[in-house]
Structure 1
Amino acid sequence: MSATNYPELTQQINRQLSSLRQSQKPTMQGFSAMAQGAMAAGVLSEKHKELMALAIGVSQRCAGCIGFHIKALKRLEATRAELDETLAVAVYMGGGPSLMYAAEALQAWDQFEAC
């Protein structure tokens, strides 16, 4: 498992992107609007959409994605059982590399739980 501190990583990414948010406002606002639209509750709940986003982040091996989606899942009061089932699907779809990043997601979960 990595030495990644996921709460710190998400804060660092937000800080690093602040200049891009200023210099590329239309693009960044468009991305934000797309994210808000895609993640808004509809037929699927926001929590279910965050679980799907986490699974994709795990399968794509994106540490930042794992951090942000775990943070959102904690806010949405997802359970450890929901997390575990989501990670099982991600591993099924992504194989061994996804299993390694599932461990990262579990680490992020524990770190955000401690916050």
Structure 2
Amino acid sequence: MGNIDQFMEEYRSALRALKEEIPASLGAFNSFYQQVMQEGVLDVKTKELIALAVGVAIHCENCVLLHTRAAQKAGASREEILEAAFVGVVMGGGPAFTFLPVVKRTLDELGK
């Protein structure tokens, strides 16, 4: 998929273009996402670790990239991120296991 910075730029660029085409739908989803992912009973770091584990479990590489980065920004350590990724493997089985290198590669790139 290339490096994380390139992915993020392409992702943001595509979302900006979609915002022009479907502003109501994109706005509605963004509003929902921001509401759910803000600080609540669970802190943002915990929510991002859950999202990462789910991304691994459902085999969503984009989710893994986005939520690994977001978990790190929310204060999660490398060890917490890797442990959350392994929870995703428990829930997603062998195919989810193949996403562990994606998490590691993303962490390595973010650490540069």
Match of 2:57 in 1: 59
Confirm or deny: 8 A CA contact 1:50 1:72 kept in the other structure: yes
- Are 1:5 and 2:3 matched, yes or no? yes
Counting only pairs closer than 5 Å after superposition, residues 1-115 of structure 1 correspond to structure 2 as 4-114=2-112
Let me know the Cα RMSD of the aligned residues: 1.3
If asked which structure has higher relative contact order (CA below 8 Å, sep 6+), I would say: 1
The residue type equivalent to 1:76 in the other structure is A
- Provide the rounded CA distance (Å) in 2 between the counterparts of 1:85 and 1:11: 28
Q: Could you say what secondary structure the match of 2:41 adopts?
A: coil
The residue type equivalent to 1:53 in the other structure is A
Q: Which runs of 5+ in 1 are unaligned?
A: none
- Provide the rounded CA distance (Å) in 2 between the counterparts of 1:17 and 1:81: 31
Cα 1:66–1:7 shift into 2, 3 Å: farther
**Deviation at residue 76 of structure 1 after TM alignment:** 1.3
Q: Could you say what secondary structure the match of 1:78 adopts?
A: coil
Residues paired across the two proteins, number: 112
TM-score, with length taken from structure 1:
0.90
TM-score, with length taken from structure 2:
0.92
- Provide the rounded CA distance (Å) in 1 between the counterparts of 2:55 and 2:79: 18
Q: Which runs of 5+ in 2 are unaligned?
A: none
Confirm or deny: 8 A CA contact 1:13 1:64 kept in the other structure: no
Which structure 1 residue ranges, 4+ long, deviate > 2 Å from structure 2? Answer: none
